[in-house]
């Protein structure tokens, strides 16, 4: 202990310098927006790089499961491609829809970090501006939806997961179209709540829940989960359903980021309409 004190006293000027250096950097970051943003972006890049290395190790042990998922997806995609064609006697296939516009495109990415035990949970993806990702893009896995892009850097992006207190996604019952907002109550990462389901809806346990066109971010019909239970709470005229999420957000690895090519056009039109209403 005596030697430790002697060492500290002998090199006190070094420790004093380091202390004041840290204080100066902290003051600069706190009171200068540009420097603060640069330090934050740099630290995010370093942390994201560490997360990616850890994720690569984790991915190695789940290759078999991921390969099975990819094989199933390829089979589904082949079926979908075949359904766009009609058979004629010469066994030649022609497209049913010869004139169309593509509204949605998909970019693959890997989850390099995620959380499920906070009130605001995020996923970090290894794709960013370099892959064309932007804020407010939808994120899904082969099992179902998982979140919405919130921040983007050059090579990485972060997404608010469904397990985030500020995320509300308009979803609907597949069988009759009854819709409402999907939210998380912060209790169990496997479940979210579908609110405001009309009482005239013939909801039952096991009903499939999918995304609604009203979400404005997710394409209609994407898998969300299944109804585990439902109830009509006191003084409410709607059902609240407990929905078991089809995507396991604790094991999310490979994801798809969805680009809606018509989103800006739709948003501009709806903003103009709202402005007319306000005026």
Express each pLDDT in 97-153 by its tens digit.
Answer: 444 567 788 888 889 999 999 999 999 999 999 999 999 999 999 899 999 999 999
pLDDT greater than 50 at residue 195: yes
First to last CA, the chain: 75
pLDDT greater than 70 at residue 32: no
Helix (H, G, I), strand (E, B) or coil at 128: coil
- The CATH homologous superfamily to which domain 104-262 belongs is Rod shape-determining protein MreC, domain 2 (2.40.10.350)
276: phi then psi, degrees, rounded to nearest 5: -65, -40
Domain range list for the chain? 2-60, 104-262
Closest Cα partner for 222 from 191, 256, 196, 189? 256
In terms of pTM, does the model score above 0.75?
Answer: no
The dihedral sign for the CA sequence 117, 119, 123, 124? negative
Confidence (pLDDT) at 85: 42
Could you tell me the two tokens for 183? 């939210």
Closest Cα partner for 222 from 183, 175, 172? 172
Express each pLDDT in 158-179 by its tens digit.
Answer: 999 999 999 999 999 999 999 9
């Amino acid at each position: 202990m005596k030697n430790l004190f002697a060492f500290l006293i002998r090199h006190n000027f070094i420790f004093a310098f380091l202390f004041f250096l840290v204080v100066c950097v902290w003051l600069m970051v706190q009171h200068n927006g540009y420097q603060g943003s640069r330090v934050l972006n740099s630290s995010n890049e370093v942390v994201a790089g560490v997360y990616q290395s850890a994720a690569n190790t984790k991915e190695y042990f789940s290759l078999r499961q991921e390969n099975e998922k990819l094989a199933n997806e390829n089979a589904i995609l082949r079926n979908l491609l075949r359904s766009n064609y009609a058979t004629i006697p010469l066994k030649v296939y022609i497209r049913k829809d010869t004139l169309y516009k593509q509204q949605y495109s998909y970019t693959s990415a890997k989850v390099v970090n995620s959380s499920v035990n906070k009130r605001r949970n995020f996923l970090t993806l290894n794709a960013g501006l370099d892959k064309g990702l932007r804020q407010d893009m939808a994120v899904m896995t082969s099992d179902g939806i998982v979140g919405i892009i919130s921040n983007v850097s050059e090579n990485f992006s972060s997404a608010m997961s469904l397990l985030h207190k500020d995320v509300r996604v308009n979803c609907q019952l597949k069988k009759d179209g009854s819709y409402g907002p999907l939210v998380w109550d912060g209790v169990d990462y496997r479940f979210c709540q579908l609110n405001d389901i009309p009482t005239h809806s013939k909801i039952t346990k096991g009903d499939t829940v999918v995304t609604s066109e009203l979400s404005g971010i997710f394409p209609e019909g994407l898998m969300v989960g299944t109804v585990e239970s439902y109830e009509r709470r006191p003084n409410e005229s709607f059902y609240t359903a407990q929905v078991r999420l089809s995507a396991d957000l604790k094991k999310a690895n490979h994801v798809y980021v969805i680009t809606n090519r018509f989103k800006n056009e739709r948003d501009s039109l709806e903003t103009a309409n709202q402005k007319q209403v306000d005026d």
